[in-house]
Amino acid sequence: MKKVYKIAFLLISLTIPFFMANGQNLPVACGGSKVRYGVTGLPGSNFKWNIDGGIINNIYNDSIDVTWNNIQGIHELTVTEYTVTNCVANPDTVLVLVNIMPNPNLGGPLNVCQGQSINIGTSVSYDKPSFLWNTGSTSSSISASTQGWYEILVTDSAGCFTRDSAYLSVNALPIIPLSKDTTIIGTIGSLTLNAGSGDLNYLWNNGQNSQEIDIISPGTYWVSVTSIDGCSKTDTIIVKESAVTLTIKIPNAFTPNNDGENDNWDIQELNNYPNASVEVYDRWGRMVFQAKNGYPSPGWDGTSRGKNLPMDSYFYNIKLNDGSTTKFKGSVTIIR
């Protein structure tokens, strides 16, 4: 006993288009999609299903749910009817053309530096694809510079579609706290330029790679700073020679032996700078003298914490704190 059955195709997630192949009208499914197939038989019949190239998820006797493998090709779906009178119908086979599901890959995580843009897209080839981004673009790729999620929907000629998304992070540029263009006083002053702190790499136009550099001459100075995220920024400062002539005589030695002559490190011109600060260090970098808010007269007596320091050379930092950036560095020797 042989009966011919009409197989109904009930789609769970999308409508199956039909595709002409080898002169046959084949139902088309998308790889990875879940589709319901059903038949109409005699009352009380039971049905046995077999599938090639997919997985049967659920069996409802006269219908099944199938998830097709994402493998391009023609696959078989076979059903056999067993009637209540124990008659077995010849198996009926339906050929299903399975199209590979689009697989766009935007990659990620994506990063871009502030003020720059990045090209986001998929390089995978499809048969007559269409694209739709959550930005509204219908191109295969877009240029993005704003932080957030970007999603693309790719649909092929068979109606199979897949989405992919990626998050774009916009990394801030380094902050370079160089002051405005300034001045330096002749050859007796010095100036410290600071390019900011943090996980940064530095390159000054004089070849130095430190966060700070000390300069003693006018000129144009620039620094390129690169963050840990690879974002770079360059800033420039112009240092001109001041028209003001500053004369400060800093003795390079004194003899604190209580003979009444040259017993103190006397810097008389500092009397004109009530906010000046003076720091003195030994050869191991330990501070042995400090004066804030003005330098006392007649000056340092060569002691530290009430004890005489040994004969040696000591190193000083002097800042005028008069609104300028001028400072003085050098050494002074105690002679006993």
Residue 25 sits in a domain of what CATH number?
2.60.40.10
- Rg of the Cα atoms in the chain: 42
Of 150, 171, 192, the residue that ends a domain is 171
Residue 119 lies in a domain: yes
Contact (Cβ atoms closer than 8 angstroms) between residue 102 and residue 124? yes
Q: Is 236 helix (H, G, I), strand (E, B) or coil?
A: strand
Number of H helices, E strands in the chain: 0, 28
Which residues touch 259 (CB under 8 Å, ≥6 apart)?
A: none
Which domain does 188 fall in, by range? 182-241
CA–CA separation, 250 and 301 (whole Å): 15
Q: Quick one: 320 and 257 in the same domain?
A: yes
Q: Quick one: 158 and 219 in the same domain?
A: no
Side chain identity at 102, as an amino acid letter?
Answer: P
Q: Quick one: 228 and 261 in the same domain?
A: no
Which residues touch 34 (CB under 8 Å, ≥6 apart)?
A: 12, 13, 57, 65, 66, 67
Q: Quick one: 204 and 236 in the same domain?
A: yes
**pLDDT for position 55:** 92
Cβ atoms within 10 Å, residue 224: 16
Of 99, 120, 151, the residue that ends a domain is 99
Burial of 14 (0-12, 13-18, 19+ CB in 10 A): middle
Residue 75 lies in a domain: yes
Q: Quick one: 84 and 159 in the same domain?
A: no
Q: Quick one: 219 and 257 in the same domain?
A: no
Provide the token pair at 296.
């006392």
Residue 204 lies in a domain: yes
Residues of the chain with pLDDT under 50: 1-24
CATH at residue 280: 2.60.40
Residue 24 lies in a domain: yes
Q: Quick one: 128 and 190 in the same domain?
A: no
Q: Quick one: 85 and 155 in the same domain?
A: no
**Residue pLDDT, tens place only, 115-165:** 999 999 886 666 678 999 999 999 989 999 999 999 999 988 878 888 999
**pLDDT for position 216:** 80
Q: Quick one: 165 and 193 in the same domain?
A: no
Q: Quick one: 39 and 87 in the same domain?
A: yes
Cβ atoms within 10 Å, residue 215: 17
Contact (Cβ atoms closer than 8 angstroms) between residue 66 and residue 57? yes
Chain center to CA of 149: 15
Which residues touch 72 (CB under 8 Å, ≥6 apart)?
A: 31, 98, 99, 100
Residue 268 lies in a domain: yes
Provide the token pair at 163.
């989405």
Q: Quick one: 237 and 257 in the same domain?
A: no
Domain count, the chain: 4
Q: Quick one: 135 and 89 in the same domain?
A: no
Residue 176 lies in a domain: no
Residue 1 lies in a domain: no
Of 74, 99, 124, the residue that ends a domain is 99
Contact (Cβ atoms closer than 8 angstroms) between residue 101 and residue 13? no
Phi, psi of 79, rounded to the nearest 5 degrees: -130, 140
DSSP string computed for 27-77:
EEEETT-EEEEEE--STT-EEEEEESSEEEEEE-SSEEEEEE-S--EEEEE
Provide the token pair at 128.
């007559």
**pLDDT for position 252:** 93
**pLDDT for position 149:** 95
Residue 248 lies in a domain: no
